[in-house]
Amino acid sequence: MGVSISMNVNGKTVSAELDPRTLLVQLLRERLRLTGTHVGCDTGQCGACTVHVNGRAVKSCIVLAAQMQGANVTTIEGIGGANGELHPMQAAFRDHHGLQCGFCTPGMVMNAIELAKKHADPTEEQIRAGLDGNLCRCTGYHNIVKAVLAGAAAMKR
pTM, to two decimals = 0.93
| Residue 157 pLDDT level (bands cut at 50, 70, 90) | confident
Separation of alpha carbons 54 and 57, rounded Å: 9
Q: pLDDT value at position 46?
A: 93
Set out the domains of the chain in order of their start, with CATH numbers.
3-78 (3.10.20.30), 88-156 (1.10.150.120)
Q: pLDDT value at position 82?
A: 84
